Chains A and B, each alone.
Chain A
Amino acid sequence: ETGVTQSPTHLIKTRGQQVTLRCSSQSGHNTVSWYQQALGQGPQFIFQYYREEENGRGNFPPRFSGLQFPNYSSELNVNALELDDSALYLCASSLVMNTEAFFGQGTRLTVV
């Protein structure tokens, strides 16, 4: 067990709706990264937060946004959901940006 927890574990949403996914980092970790993993693919980097500031973003549209809180927990928000947003969303926390990252179990999002 990595100490990184994500909620909810599964979620079904309708196209056009908005969703918020949550991640609780391992104690003391100040960096969190979010990834999208489509079925049968490797994870793709969405963005990273370091000390509550966005620190890099992958090739995802602005309707993907995030927050990191003072206790280093984090949220991923997706607006105007599309069918292709159906995927496993993973968060990974680390002590600083370039140390070992620990992944949560993921949130399985299904958009219908």
Chain B
Amino acid sequence: TQLLEQSPQFLSIQEGENLTVYCNSSSVFSSLQWYRQEPGEGPVLLVTVVTGGEVKKLKRLTFQFGDARKDSSLHITAAQPGDTGLYLCAGEGYNQGGKLIFGQGTELSVKP
């Protein structure tokens, strides 16, 4: 059974601080996706990484896919209150198109 372990589960920081969220597995994934979910809403896709070692930047967010395609990280620079939410990583196995395995999520709170 493929599992994704996400850490930390909860993170409370001040505006302007940096943070990193980790997503780890013993399984290899064909791609890994990061989502952000607001209370009462569905997850919204932030980025998809597909190549081992790939780094993608989305404004203040930097996503990295591990060389072995088993882990990923999300780094936020100078966090803002608007970044508050639940961050989810989700892996897609080979030949498992659209069947995502999610981590348990990181609840981020950024205080002004």
Contact surface of A with B, Cβ cutoff 8 Å? 2, 4, 31, 33, 35, 40-45, 48, 56, 58, 90, 92, 94, 96-106, 108
Contacts and interface: CB of A to CB of B under 8 A. Distances in A.
Interface in B25-69: 35, 40-45, 48
A26 B78 CA distance: 35
A111 B74 CA distance: 35
Contacts of B35: 103
A44 B15 CA distance: 32
A112 B33 CA distance: 34
23 contacts: A2-B42, A31-B97, A31-B98, A33-B98, A33-B99, A40-B104, A40-B105, A41-B105, A42-B6, A42-B90, A43-B43, A43-B100, A45-B99, A45-B100, A48-B99, A56-B99, A92-B100, A98-B92, A98-B98, A103-B43, A104-B42, A106-B40, A106-B42
A97 B103 CA distance: 20
B41 A105 contact: yes
Contact of B41 (A31, A35, A106): A106
Main DSSP-derived SS at the A contact region: loop
A105 B97 CA distance: 22
Interface hub of A101, A102, A104 (most chain B Cβ within 10 A):
A101
B34 to A, nearest CB: 12
Contacts of A96: 97
Contacts of A4: 42
Contacts of A42: 4, 6, 88, 90, 102-105
A56 B97 CA distance: 10
Given A33-B100, A35-B102, A106-B42, 9 more contacts: A42-B102, A42-B103, A43-B88, A43-B100, A44-B102, A90-B42, A97-B98, A103-B43, A103-B44
Nearest to A10: B40
A108 B101 CA distance: 21
